[in-house]
Structure 1
Amino acid sequence: MDSYTRGALRFDVTEHGPSDGEPVLLLHGFPQTAASWEPVARRLADAGYRVLAPDQRGYSVGARPEGRRAYRVEELVDDVVALADAAGAGTVHVVGHDWGAVVAWALAALHPERVRTLTAVSVPHPAAFVKAMATSRQGALSWYMYFFQLPAVAERLLGRPGGLAAAARRAGQSPEKARRDEAALAAKGGLRPALTGAINWYRAMPFWEHKGLQVTVATPTLLVWSDGDVAISRAAVDGTPRWVTGPYRLEVLSGVSHWIPDETPERLADLVLEHLGTAA
């Protein structure tokens, strides 16, 4: 499986592992692609899981609709449901990093019947995050979200050669992986169009139908957070348990940056495999 469609949109997909394995969906964040999951995907595939990692809406050239409303979280969730349907999977394990974690939380909240386990990497429950924005230093850490609301400004600054990679390095990403991610987006029809699609996820936040996604999650949940994360505060993490009614576990990685799948893929894969096993 290298692609799937939802209506007129076509999404690129990377598949690993046996076709009859339990399906695991890996959802990337900003500003990355499915390539960020490669080491983790190989470990899961070696354990017998069927791993599907899409380039999500705005990142796949064939799935880049106009207008920020097209990037509401509800649309992003329905894209993932369409992937599960295309794979013939009634239920899936879902693992998301950064914005991919937001989509994973929303999938488990809005379509609990489709999710066997949820692993959120770096980003806590959206409702806990929103509350932390108003009550802790999370508001200051999230300054870039306000900046991204400015039309075309972010594209001009980050779209210069090396601009996106430099921003990722300032957020703790390694130079090698930062260059990889910039090159991957540039290969998707040009860097600036890809950036607009990616940044539209932020610009669509005021139009979410489920404001703050204040919906509890009953799915068995693992949250993996790192104390070197410059974008996500501990206050947001600590507010998450009130939004999870099912089994919940928090794993804190010491001395690791926001870019957990890149920086410590083996440790993350171990945690994910352990969590998937709890659903057996």
Structure 2
Amino acid sequence: MLKQIEAGALRVAYREQGEPDGWPVLLLHGFPYDVHAYDEVAPLLAARGARVITPWLRGYGPTRFLSLDTPRSGQQAALAADLLALMDALAIPDAVLAGYDWGGRAACILAALWPQRVRGLVTGGGYNIQDIAGASRPASPAAEFRTWYQYYLHGERGAAGLAQHRQEFCRLLWGLWSPEWRFDDAIFARTAAAFDNPDFAAVVVHSYRHRFGLVEGDPAVEQIERQLAVQPPIGVPTISLDGGSDGVSGPAGSERHARHFTGGFEQRTLPHIGHNLPQEAPAAFADAVLALAEGRSSP
């Protein structure tokens, strides 16, 4: 069921499935995806007693800013503040959080800074809180090649290109990041409608500039950003999922991230799966959530 609620700086649009008194889980999409990534995951969880909340992030789908004066920031602290505000607005004291890419980052931040609000964490790609101070250090040539789109968006040509060709740009990334996923035009079109949000391009461009320290952030979330600068540990039970064919994160996996997790950490690699973990492997994604909710994880 599609619902809306005012939460922080946003009127958040979200889907809700399952019984209202079920155990709460929030499913968080990334870029360039939307809530349809969880079309098959959410019913699996609802059938096991979950109250499933799946929001469109800022800049996507029907979610809207409440004020024209709010910076159209895509920085990590803003995404986390949105998630915390949504949980407050829905009167959810704590929940299992599950996400990947941007959504996984927001979930990781809540687990690090507000662990009392997080029963368990499913994160795509492990610890993905950004180290902005270290972003200027070059990565391997292969990793730099995979993140070409980020550098493209640093310039005005890239910003204009995204605004003018958002669907073509995002579909290209889908193919590059999930080379073994055979999605069709209808599957892409269901999600691509979310990119018509009037703030989509501005939020995306700001995200990929802020993480490299190229632009200022929103002063309203600067305190959160300062807390993230020390790369805080995550002290809640966590399962990390890695796509074996992920074309953006690469095949290395998140085993090396275990040092960031003090509440228990289990890493699972999904063979032949790319970056869009829940849509490509819904059963495996749902099982990770259920393992935490039901105490079946190895952390």
Partner residue, 1:278: 295
Which moved further from structure 2: 136-145 or 211-220? 136-145
Partner of 1:121: 124
TM-superposed CA distance for 1:88, in Å, is: 1.4
Q: Is 2:158 aligned against 1:153?
A: yes
- Contact kept? 2:72, 2:202, Cα under 8 Å: no
SS in 1 for 2:40: helix
CA contact (8 A) 1:169 1:175 kept: no
- 1:215-247 deviation digits (Å, cap 9, x = unpaired): 100100000101100111344623210100111
Residues in 2 aligned to 1:175 and 1:20: alpha-carbon distance in whole angstroms: 36
User: Amino acid of the residue matched to residue 94 of structure 1?
Assistant: L
Match of 1:111 in 2: 114
The partner residue of 2:192 within 179, 182, 190 is 182
Partners of 1:161 and 1:116 in 2: CA distance: 36
Q: Is 2:144 aligned against 1:142?
A: no
Q: Does 1:168 align with 2:169?
A: no
Unpaired runs of 5+ residues, structure 2, are: 218-224
Q: Cα–Cα, structure 1 residues 123 and 156, in superposed 2: closer, same or farther, change >3 Å?
A: farther
Q: Are 2:229 and 1:219 equivalent residues in the alignment? A: no
Asked if structure 1 preserves the Cα contact closer than 8 Å seen for 2:233 and 2:261, the reply is yes
Corresponding position: 1:31 with 2:48: no
State the secondary structure of the residue aligned to 1:70: coil
CA pair 45-198 structure 1, distance change in 2 beyond 3 A: farther
Q: Which moved more, 1:68-77 or 1:251-260?
A: 68-77
How many equivalent pairs are there?
A: 276
C-alpha contact (below 8 Å) 1:106/1:213 kept by paired residues: no
Pick the aligned partner of 1:232 from 249, 256, 276: 249
Corresponding position: 1:194 with 2:195:
no
2:259 equivalent to 1:254:
no
After TM superposition, give the deviation of residue 82 of structure 1 in Å: 1.2
TM-score of the superposed pair, with normalisation by structure 2: 0.81
Contact 1:77 1:107 in 2 (8 A): yes
Residue of structure 1 in register with 2:222 after alignment:
none
Residues 249 and 8 from structure 1, CA distance in 2 versus in 1: closer, same or farther, beyond 3 angstroms? closer
Unaligned stretches of 5+ residues in structure 1: none
1:204 counterpart residue number: 210
* Offset of residue 197 of structure 1: 2.4
Q: Give RMSD over aligned pairs.
A: 2.9
Give the superposition deviation at 1:255: 1.4
User: Structure 1 residues 162 and 27 mapped into 2: Cα distance closer, same or farther (>3 Å)?
Assistant: closer
- Contact 1:96/1:104 (CA < 8 Å) preserved in 2? yes
Residues 155 and 278 of structure 1: is their aligned pair in 2 closer, same or farther, counting only changes over 3 Å?
A: farther
SS at structure 1 position matched to 2:192: helix
Contact kept in structure 2, 1:102 and 1:123, CA below 8 Å: no
The one-letter code matched in structure 1 to 2:51 is R
Task: State TM-score, norm by structure 1.
Answer: 0.86
Task: Look up the equivalent residue of 2:191 and give its one-letter code.
Answer: D
Q: Is the 8 A contact 1:94 1:117 kept in 2?
A: yes
Q: Provide the C-alpha distance between the structure 1 equivalents of 2:270 and 2:45, rounded to a whole number of angstroms.
A: 20
Q: 2:80 aligns with which of 52, 58, 77?
A: 77
